[in-house]
Structure 1
Amino acid sequence: MKRAVCAALLLALAQVGAWAAPAQALQVDDAERFAALLADGRLPDADTLQRAYLTPGSAGVALFTAGRIESAQNLAQALQAHPQAYRKAIALCLPAARAVAQEAGALMVEVARRLGQPAEAAPAFALFGAMNSGGTAKAQGLGLGLEVLCQSVDTPQDARALLLDFVAHEITHVHQHRHLPAKLDFNLLYATLMEGFADYMMEQARGASSGPSADRERYGLAHEAELWRAFQADVARGAGFGDWLYNARPARAGQPADMGYWLGKRLCEAFVARAPDRAQALTTLLLLRDPAAIVAASGYAPR
């Protein structure tokens, strides 16, 4: 009788553990396969990259190929132009990706919980791209470009922290993509709030930001009012993203690149702080149906 009770208890605990454990983790098989191609010290050519990396690649490689890797020839050219960046990423960021694989899975579940979204598996892939993207996401999952991310870190601890930051940011984008409207005006204000909300959720799930986000935080707090004035003027005149988003070069001397991420995060913080219902506020920011109304309701007005 006691054995039966114990067996039943163990079975129940196992079932609870299976339910609570993250169904996904950061997958590193693509990155491992790429690293193996450089193990002998030589750089693989386009044919080798196609045969041994792109063709057998996961859904993450397919996700990263459109608009990023583009082709084996483009990848080979990036590798020839920046061999040290790839070797650094293999030595530093690939081990970090292995180390945080399970923690990344738990983090994706945590972001989904905070957003009130189903925590079904959203595959996450660590891989190597063509030196033009640190991360991307679609409704089907997310990919992290190690050779780009690794440029901003020099220690294993910083590499692990940055990878987890990007996982939290990009999984927020996955949930955003799952709710995109049929028609979308992807203008400067919309994109700033979209990226800002991903950074906001990253900080909510992870705590203080690291890497480029920390640099933007320091600069932003010291120049908030002037940044907000310049941003409002650019939105009013229908400016593009160049001075605010998706640009590796800073808009002004001494200013970190992509300050739109930080401004968007500050707008989200202000909106949530003034909202009577935090859960509803997060849903509003996730769906992002009326960016101008969100800005108005936030009361954001730094001085």
Structure 2
Amino acid sequence: MLRPLILALALLPAAATNRPPPADPLTATIHTEDADRFAALFAKTKGKPTAAQLKREYLDKGSFGIGVFTPGRIVDADTLARAIATNPTRYAQAIKTCLPAAKAATADLRAIYLGLHGALPDVKLPQVYIVFGANTSGGTAKPGAQVLGLEVLCRLSPTPEKLRQTLRHFFAHETVHSFQQDAGMTLARDPLLTAILVEGAADFIAQLVTGEEPDAARAAWATPREAELWHQMQADIALTRRLTDKDDPEEGSPEAKAYARWIGNYSTPPAGWPPELGYWMGLRIWQRYYAAAPDKHAALRAMLAVRDPRAILAAGTYKRRGGSL
């Protein structure tokens, strides 16, 4: 299936049992209870927990976050035990360096949640959980929860400073994806265009509340090339329009190449391109859409539902200075 998110940051089905209450931006906390329990077990077993121990002392006692993260990521205790045995140093480093840094990020979470609450006062802010997984996913968003896999995040951001920036991105960008699920957003029509708009909306709102460019290097590369990128994007959107979110285009087909040119290429971008350029293109569409919108709050709400991708594209179309493309 076509999916826009990287590092398995997938939009999951909206149905949830025992969904936690929304977070209050003034008192929001980062839930590390699962990670703390894992760290204690890791220390007790000298980095060699068995599957039975992991099931009994970690998974069976897990929070809502563990319940979200287990299907398709942790999978089960046997899978987790094998992942730990394969690379125990990775888990040890995450416990030593990144778990304390994650606990210190509460102030960032509250500041960003206050910004999101101000921009979108009616949305429900998800609880944030830090867990240890099977080294397969950096995180996922689900209505009511944002769950982060610390061993993967620590590999990608191995210092406290880098991890802080990564967490700020998650608290802003990925939280918007949980709002989009609550708003009933789907990829059923126009999958490439919708994926570009979904990711661009998350980057736009994240930039609005943090004041930070989501990827400065990508923006610097793309800005002087925007006209040619726009032409290529329009052609690729037209080519992929006959697909749906349930289609798997044949590997190497024109449709697959068109989709992968923009989305889902974090490790394999086109030659000479930065990865995930669809995020930036979506951000630019929404910047023009928002600038022209008389009701800014309605414009932000439109970014959550993405009801009419073609109308949004038309309203946010790229124009050269002094005229149309």
The answer to whether residue 223 in structure 2 is matched with residue 232 in structure 1 is no
How do 1:7-26 and structure 2 match up within 5 A?
22-26=26-30
- Partners of 2:67 and 2:190 in 1: how far apart? 24
1:73 paired residue number: 78
* Amino acid corresponding to residue 294 of structure 2 in structure 1: P
Judge conservation of contact 1:199–1:265 (CA < 8 Å) in 2. Answer: yes
Deviation at 1:154, TM superposition (A): 3.8
1:130 paired residue number: 134
The Cα offsets for residues 63-104 of structure 1, whole Å up to 9 and x where unpaired, read as 112222222223233333443433332233211110012431
Deviation at 1:160, TM superposition (A): 1.4
SS at match of 2:147: strand
2:56 paired residue number: 51
Structure 2 CA distance for partners of 1:86 and 1:244, relative to 1, 3 Å:
farther
2:221 paired residue number: 219
- Partners of 2:201 and 2:109 in 1: how far apart? 19
Deviation at 1:293, TM superposition (A): 0.7
Structure 2 CA distance for partners of 1:182 and 1:188, relative to 1, 3 Å:
closer
2:160 paired residue number: 156
1:12 paired residue number: none
Number of residue-to-residue matches in the alignment: 281
The Cα offsets for residues 119-168 of structure 1, whole Å up to 9 and x where unpaired, read as x5521111122223222111122111222222332432221122122111
1:13 paired residue number: none
- Partners of 1:268 and 1:249 in 2: how far apart? 25
Judge conservation of contact 1:93–1:160 (CA < 8 Å) in 2. Answer: no
Judge conservation of contact 2:133–2:151 (CA < 8 Å) in 1. Answer: yes
- Partners of 2:93 and 2:229 in 1: how far apart? 35
* Amino acid corresponding to residue 159 of structure 1 in structure 2: L
**What is the Cα-based RMSD across aligned positions, in Å?**
2.6
Q: Which has the larger radius of gyration?
A: 1
* Amino acid corresponding to residue 117 of structure 2 in structure 1: A
Structure 2 CA distance for partners of 1:245 and 1:45, relative to 1, 3 Å:
farther
SS at match of 1:38: helix
Structure 2 CA distance for partners of 1:205 and 1:231, relative to 1, 3 Å:
same
Structure 2 CA distance for partners of 1:216 and 1:37, relative to 1, 3 Å:
farther
How do 1:96-175 and structure 2 match up within 5 A?
96-118=101-123, 120=124, 122-175=126-179
The Cα offsets for residues 171-205 of structure 1, whole Å up to 9 and x where unpaired, read as 11121111105894371211221111111111111
1:88 paired residue number: 93
The answer to whether residue 304 in structure 2 is matched with residue 298 in structure 1 is no
Structure 2 CA distance for partners of 1:294 and 1:57, relative to 1, 3 Å:
same
2:32 paired residue number: 28
How do 1:251-262 and structure 2 match up within 5 A?
251-262=269-280
- Partners of 1:237 and 1:33 in 2: how far apart? 49
- Partners of 1:186 and 1:233 in 2: how far apart? 13
The alignment's TM-score, normalised by the length of structure 1, stands at 0.82
The Cα offsets for residues 178-237 of structure 1, whole Å up to 9 and x where unpaired, read as 110589437121122111111111111112146xx3443333335433433332222111
The answer to whether residue 273 in structure 2 is matched with residue 269 in structure 1 is no
Which one of the candidate residues 67, 70, 74 is aligned to 1:62? Answer: 67
Judge conservation of contact 1:26–1:105 (CA < 8 Å) in 2. Answer: no
- Partners of 2:225 and 2:85 in 1: how far apart? 40
Structure 2 CA distance for partners of 1:54 and 1:226, relative to 1, 3 Å:
farther
Which structure dedicates a bigger proportion of its chain to helix? 1
Aligned identity (percent) is 39
Q: Which runs of 5+ in 2 are unaligned?
A: 1-23, 241-254
Judge conservation of contact 2:125–2:144 (CA < 8 Å) in 1. Answer: no
Q: Which runs of 5+ in 1 are unaligned?
A: 1-19
- Partners of 2:167 and 2:140 in 1: how far apart? 13
The answer to whether residue 249 in structure 2 is matched with residue 245 in structure 1 is no
Judge conservation of contact 1:24–1:122 (CA < 8 Å) in 2. Answer: no
Greater length-normalized contact order (CA 8 Å, ≥ 6 residues apart): 2
Structure 2 CA distance for partners of 1:73 and 1:252, relative to 1, 3 Å:
same
- Partners of 1:231 and 1:163 in 2: how far apart? 30
- Partners of 1:132 and 1:223 in 2: how far apart? 34
